[in-house]
């Protein structure tokens, strides 16, 4: 079949195959069974290239050897250099650098996890009718419940959340001190497995899942073994299999491989026994290269786990299935870990990914099953710009490493195998373990180019001989760099220590209160009965309401939600959507940050801006703050005669001015010329950057990149308001803002509680028309009651937000609190918090963003928050507490966070 060929530089040839035949696939084989195949996806942890029997005959793993021999071994299958990035790529189909997961593993106390913005393979398969189960290691985050397996498409889970632990006790210690049990069945702590070796536990769970699986549903089993990651531990019977290995670590490690092999054998036997084997695809892969410091081995490939060398990224992998059309062969098709996502979806007959899914993986089933060419010609190993920047790419047979390749950069022969083994011919050793030393990394190199077809062990650096090819591959990396999301690597949070939870690794400690969104993004959190962003829209419409109504009637104008493809910064986002913003030729436009509330009076801001010189680009609304609080905001120095901005400093380290930025702007359409200049400069910096120093960020901050440089130019002005304004970053700020919005409702004649007063009303109160209020209840001041909420007989509510569906039983008291959706407060109970308003004795004081914990590690007094679906029993007191969702409180609590 003819196909076009493109030549890059001086000989890099990439062929693009033109498909002529359209194939519709409902299962693994064209004429296969009507039910989609079962998928068993097995991940071995830290298993090296030289740690498997099809690469090293000294490894005693007969099941893996047989399954690989009867299936298709994948000799050019790539993964990420370390664990969390590989698992992220596997389950999302996307390069980790597009997810913020490129830099490191997730450490136990890091308050983050794999982004919730991208669906996982498990979610896709569950939607397609699969029963989905996860067994083994997770390592994709657990500080929030939303990050855990059963919240991410898996119907069951047995295993551990962190990256490593003791194989028998299932405890993990922390470098920072503290230790705890990390073993769960679904969300419950599983203590009953203490003393049992993990691969045996996971094999038994896989057997249970398979044996109880309903025959009329396809199965997805994600079996991520702890083996063979450190610590090096194995039952004695496996250690005894390797008497000829003198190196203790290597002998233990090989025993762990044999234990893994026995576990896989049990899975295969269970599939056969349950009658599922004939319609099952088994995918086996390592998550990264072997760790030579802990018994693993990648020889003759170069490097180690955590490096961009082939030894860190080329996986020991195979596919085994009766559905393979051409089994019993080795495939050299180029495959990346992201490819399993679309490949499995095709096997499942699930809806195929669309361009909007932004997948990096491609469907490789034809290459695997039929032996057709790979569906890809390029692999990006990684792009990381943190600390020691490094990136690598392969196109065709050529591989470029640019920047830091990682530590352990040599070739590491298998330790302890230089003497005679009783069961192995001695002639294997001398040829395989010859010491090589040329072209080793010295630390001064920053660019390597290899031809992997002739030099798969990366000995001969061709960078100096092929400069045009190096330039082309660097250019490709920089194009991919545009999609890079900053690494999501926050510092450890001591709140996550298992010592805080009875020596158990727990979830819920990094839940972000924005301002306790509970179930919705912060802009949609209801304050005074309306989403925060609705107050912004009303502020915009106040001046232009009649005009907007006429435009809506004539042109069907609607509010639009535009989402950035990545975090671009405020000005970067404006520039991305400049065509939509400038549609219709407006002279100016408002910009309002979503985390502020206030009496915006945009009509006055607009009038002020129109009075400025014709070339004015931007007017920022400002307000007064205390001297101490001002350094937490953007500070403005003003020419009091002209109101021009003379100087701007974003969160300065020392005092600049008490005049602070409110995050409200009006901009001339000419501002896009200024933003465009910054955009072009940043693009030039990116294309000329060297990864040794790290390319600059693409984000464009409105404050740092636009407002600050324009200060003193006479084209940026400040409008000072004395009206109410507040950030809304905490739950306490939500109550504070609720009070002021209710006051605004009354001043502007907006409806609050009905004139009929369904109960005793004190001060400003807003009640949703669908709420049920007993006539004897007393509400106010500063109370909002949401849709379908119920307030019972004799209830007293003050300074609180009652969200939709919440129920307060008779004679209960609620003070300075937020009651979450569908929560229940039992009869005669008291829910009370501590007000956190600005200091009334300090003029211009703003809300302080007080941390949850003080310097002694104790909870700071704050309002009480009940998450959604929290049930408080009757006659209980909950004081100064934060209760996460779905909890039943059967006793009283004080100054606690309940996870």
Q: What is the pLDDT of residues 482-506, one digit of tens each?
A: 899 889 998 898 888 998 888 999 9
Q: What is the DSSP letter of 496?
A: G
Looking at the predicted structure, is the pLDDT value of residue 565 above 70?
no
More confident residue, 270 or 679: 270
Residue 388: per-residue pLDDT: 83
Question: Taking phi first (over 0 means left), then psi (-120 to 50 degrees means alpha), and beta for anything else, what does residue 822 get?
Answer: left
Whether this prediction's pTM lies above 0.75 is answered by: no
Residue 598: per-residue pLDDT: 87
Q: What are phi and psi of 716, to 5 degrees?
A: -125, 135
Residue 564: per-residue pLDDT: 64
Q: Give the HSE-up count for residue 56: Cα atoms under 13 Å, Cβ half-sphere.
A: 25
Residue 752: per-residue pLDDT: 72
Question: How many Cβ atoms from other residues are within 10 Å of residue 115's Cβ?
Answer: 18
Residue 641's Cβ-count burial label (10 Å; 0-12, 13-18, 19+) is exposed
Q: Which of 458-467, 671-680, 735-744, 769-778 has the lowest mean pLDDT?
A: 735-744
* SS3 at position 343: helix
Query: CA Rg, the chain, in Å?
Result: 31
Q: What are phi and psi of 124, to 5 degrees?
A: -65, -45
**Domain residue spans of the chain:** 38-375, 562-727, 742-897
Q: Which of 153-167, 287-301, 682-696, 803-817 has the lowest mean pLDDT?
A: 682-696
Give me the catalytic one of 83, 635, 667, 759. 83
Section 643-665 average pLDDT: 94
Looking at the predicted structure, is the pLDDT value of residue 897 above 70?
yes
Looking at the predicted structure, is the pLDDT value of residue 847 above 60?
yes
Looking at the predicted structure, is the pLDDT value of residue 546 above 90?
no
> In whole angstroms, how far apart are CA 75 and each of 314, 319, 335, 371, 839?
8, 11, 9, 13, 67
Nearest-5° angle of CA 675, CA 677, CA 678?
65
Q: What is the helix, strand, coil percentage profile of the chain, to 5? A: 25, 20, 55
Take residue 615 and report the two structure tokens written for it. Answer: 């070339």
CA 675 to mean position of chain CA atoms: 29
* SS3 at position 82: coil
Looking at the predicted structure, is the pLDDT value of residue 381 above 90?
yes
Per-residue b/e over 310-319, b at no fewer than 16 CB within 10 Å? bbbbbbbbbb
Take residue 675 and report the two structure tokens written for it. Answer: 């933003």
Instruction: Based on the residue annotation, tell me whether 510 is a catalytic residue of this protein.
Output: no
Q: How far apart are CA 202 and CA 769, in angstroms?
A: 53
Looking at the predicted structure, is the pLDDT value of residue 122 above 70?
yes
- For residue 733, which of 872, 581, 865 has the smallest C-alpha distance? 865
Confidence of residue 549 (pLDDT cuts 50, 70, 90): low
pLDDT digits (tens, 9 = 90+) for 298-319: 999 999 999 999 999 999 999 9
Residue 495: per-residue pLDDT: 84
**Inter-residue contact 61 to 47 (CB < 8 Å):** no
HEC string of 766-829 equals EECCCCEECCCCEECCCEEECCCCEECCCCEEEEEEECCCCEECCCCEEEEEEECCCCEECCCC
Q: Which of 13-27, 195-209, 589-603 has the lowest mean pLDDT?
A: 13-27
- For residue 318, which of 331, 306, 300, 307 has the smallest C-alpha distance? 331
Residue 727: per-residue pLDDT: 83
Q: What are phi and psi of 285, to 5 degrees?
A: -150, 150
Looking at the predicted structure, is the pLDDT value of residue 529 above 80?
no
* CATH number among 1.10.10, 3.30.2450, 2.160.10, 1.10.1740, domain 742-897: 2.160.10
Section 252-258 average pLDDT: 97
DSSP 130-179: -EEEEEEE--S--SSGGGSGGGTT-SEEEEESSS---TTT-EEE-TTS-E
Q: Give the HSE-up count for residue 873: Cα atoms under 13 Å, Cβ half-sphere.
A: 7
- For the chain, the average pLDDT equals 85
Residue 817: per-residue pLDDT: 94
Residue 513: per-residue pLDDT: 44
- For residue 82, which of 46, 111, 40 has the smallest C-alpha distance? 46
Looking at the predicted structure, is the pLDDT value of residue 801 above 90?
yes
562-727 belongs to which CATH class? alpha beta
Residues 6+ apart with CB under 8 A from 799: 735, 739, 781, 782, 783, 815, 816, 835
- Give me the helix-helix angle, 671-688 and 467-481, nearest 10°: 140
Q: How far apart are CA 509 and CA 144, in angstroms?
A: 7
Section 221-235 average pLDDT: 97
Section 471-489 average pLDDT: 92
Instruction: Based on the residue annotation, tell me whether 83 is a catalytic residue of this protein.
Output: yes
Section 501-523 average pLDDT: 65
Section 170-192 average pLDDT: 91
Q: How far apart are CA 102 and CA 89, in angstroms?
A: 10
Question: Taking phi first (over 0 means left), then psi (-120 to 50 degrees means alpha), and beta for anything else, what does residue 516 get?
Answer: left
* SS3 at position 605: helix
Residue tagged 């991940």 (tokens): 43
Residue 27: per-residue pLDDT: 39
**Inter-residue contact 595 to 729 (CB < 8 Å):** yes
Q: How far apart are CA 169 and CA 189, in angstroms?
A: 13
Q: Which of 128-137, 292-301, 579-588 has the lowest mean pLDDT?
A: 579-588
Instruction: Give the ranges where 274-405 is alpha helix by DSSP (H).
Output: 310-313, 340-348, 365
Give me the catalytic one of 55, 103, 139, 320. 139
**Inter-residue contact 9 to 469 (CB < 8 Å):** yes
Q: How far apart are CA 355 and CA 4, in angstroms?
A: 24
**Inter-residue contact 527 to 514 (CB < 8 Å):** no
CATH number, domain 38-375: 3.40.720.10
Residue 877's H or E segment, with its range, is strand 877-879
């Amino acid at each position: 079949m003819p196909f076009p060929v493109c030549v890059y530089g001086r000989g890099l040839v990439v062929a693009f195959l033109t498909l002529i035949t359209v194939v519709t696939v409902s299962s693994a084989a064209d004429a296969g069974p009507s039910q989609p195949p079962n998928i068993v996806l097995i991940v071995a942890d830290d298993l090296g290239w030289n740690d498997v029997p099809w690469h090293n005959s000294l490894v005693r793993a007969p099941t893996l050897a047989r399954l690989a021999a009867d299936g298709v071994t994948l000799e050019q299958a790539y993964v990420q250099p370390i664990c969390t990035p590989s698992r992220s790529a596997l389950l999302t189909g996307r390069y980790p650098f597009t997810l913020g997961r490129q830099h490191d593993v997730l450490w136990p106390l890091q308050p983050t996890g794999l982004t919730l913005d991208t669906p996982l393979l498990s979610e896709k398969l569950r939607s397609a009718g699969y029963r989905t189960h996860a067994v083994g290691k997770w390592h994709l985050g657990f500080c929030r419940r939303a990050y855990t397996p059963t919240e991410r498409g898996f119907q069951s889970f047995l295993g551990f959340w962190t990256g490593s632990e003791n194989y028998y006790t299932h405890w993990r210690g922390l470098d920072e001190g503290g230790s705890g049990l990390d073993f769960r069945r679904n969300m419950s702590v599983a203590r009953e497995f203490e003393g049992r070796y993990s691969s045996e536990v996971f094999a038994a769970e896989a057997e249970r899942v398979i044996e109880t699986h309903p025959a009329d549903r396809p199965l997805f089993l994600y079996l991520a073994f702890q083996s063979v990651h450190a610590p090096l531990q194995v039952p004695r019977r496996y250690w005894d299999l390797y008497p000829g290995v003198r190196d203790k670590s290597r002998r233990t490690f090989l025993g762990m491989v044999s234990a893994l092999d026995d576990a896989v054998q049990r899975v295969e036997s269970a599939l056969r026994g349950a009658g599922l084997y004939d319609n099952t695809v088994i995918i086996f892969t390592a998550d990264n290269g072997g760790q030579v410091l802990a018994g693993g081995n990648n020889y003759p490939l170069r490097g180690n786990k955590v490096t961009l060398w082939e030894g860190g990224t080329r996986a020991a992998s195979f596919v085994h299935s009766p559905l393979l059309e051409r089994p019993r062969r080795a495939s050299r098709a180029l495959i990346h870990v992201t490819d399993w996502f679309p490949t499995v979806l095709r096997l499942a007959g699930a809806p195929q990914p669309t361009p909007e899914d932004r997948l990096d993986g491609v469907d490789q089933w034809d290459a695997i099953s039929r032996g057709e060419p790979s569906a890809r010609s390029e692999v990006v190993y990684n792009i990381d710009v943190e600390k020691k920047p490094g990136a690598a790419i392969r196109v065709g047979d050529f591989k470029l490493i640019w920047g830091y390749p990682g530590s352990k950069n040599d070739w590491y022969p298998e330790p302890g195998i230089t003497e005679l083994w009783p069961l192995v011919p001695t002639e294997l050793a001398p040829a395989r373990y010859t010491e090589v030393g040329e072209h080793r990394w010295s630390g001064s190199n920053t660019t390597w180019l290899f031809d992997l077809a002739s030099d798969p062990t990366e000995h001969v650096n061709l960078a100096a001989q092929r400069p045009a090819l190096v330039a082309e591959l660097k250019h490709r990396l920089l194009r991919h760099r545009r999609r890079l999301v900053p690494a999501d690597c926050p510092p450890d949070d001591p709140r996550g220590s298992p010592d805080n939870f009875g020596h158990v690794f727990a979830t819920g400690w990094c839940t972000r209160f924005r301002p306790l969104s509970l179930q919705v993004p912060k802009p949609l959190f209801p304050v005074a009965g309306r989403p925060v962003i609705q107050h912004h829209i009303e502020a915009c419409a106040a001046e232009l309401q009649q005009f907007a109504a006429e435009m809506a009637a004539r042109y069907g104008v609607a509010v639009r939600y535009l989402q950035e493809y990545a975090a671009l910064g405020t000005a970067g986002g404006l520039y991305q959507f400049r065509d939509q913003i400038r549609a219709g030729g407006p002279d100016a436009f408002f910009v309002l940050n979503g985390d502020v509330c206030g009496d915006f009076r945009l009509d006055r801001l607009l009038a002020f801006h129109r009075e400025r010189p014709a070339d004015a680009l931007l007017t920022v609304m400002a307000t007064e703050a205390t001297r101490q609080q001002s350094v937490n905001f953007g500070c403005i120095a003003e020419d009091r005669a002209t109101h021009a901005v003379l100087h701007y400093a974003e969160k300065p380290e020392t005092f600049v001015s008490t005049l602070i930025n409110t995050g409200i702007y009006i901009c001339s359409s000419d501002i896009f010329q200024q933003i465009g200049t910054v955009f072009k400069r940043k693009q030039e910096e990116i294309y000329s950057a060297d990864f040794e120093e790290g390319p600059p960020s693409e984000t464009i901050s409105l404050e740092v990149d636009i407002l600050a440089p324009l200060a003193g130019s006479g084209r940026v002005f400040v409008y000072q308001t004395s009206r109410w304004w507040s950030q809304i970053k905490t739950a306490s700020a939500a109550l504070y803002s609720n009070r002021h919005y209710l006051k605004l409702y009354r001043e502007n004649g907006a409806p609050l509680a009905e004139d009929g007063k369904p109960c005793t009303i004190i001060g400003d109160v807003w009640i949703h028309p669908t709420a049920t209020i007993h006539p004897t209840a007393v509400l106010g001041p500063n109370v909002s009651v949401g849709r379908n909420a119920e307030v019972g007989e004799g209830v007293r509510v003050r300074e609180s937000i009652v969200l939709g569906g919440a129920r307060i039983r008779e004679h209960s008291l609620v003070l300075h609190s937020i009651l979450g959706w569908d929560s229940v407060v039992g009869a005669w109970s008291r829910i009370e918090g501590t007000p956190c308003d600005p200091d009334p004795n300090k003029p211009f004081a703003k809300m302080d963003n007080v941390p949850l914990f003080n310097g002694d590690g104790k909870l700071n007094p704050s309002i009480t928050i009940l998450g959604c679906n929290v049930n408080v029993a009757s006659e209980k007191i909950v004081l100064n507490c934060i209760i996460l969702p779905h909890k039943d409180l059967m006793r009283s609590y004080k100054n606690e966070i309940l996870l």
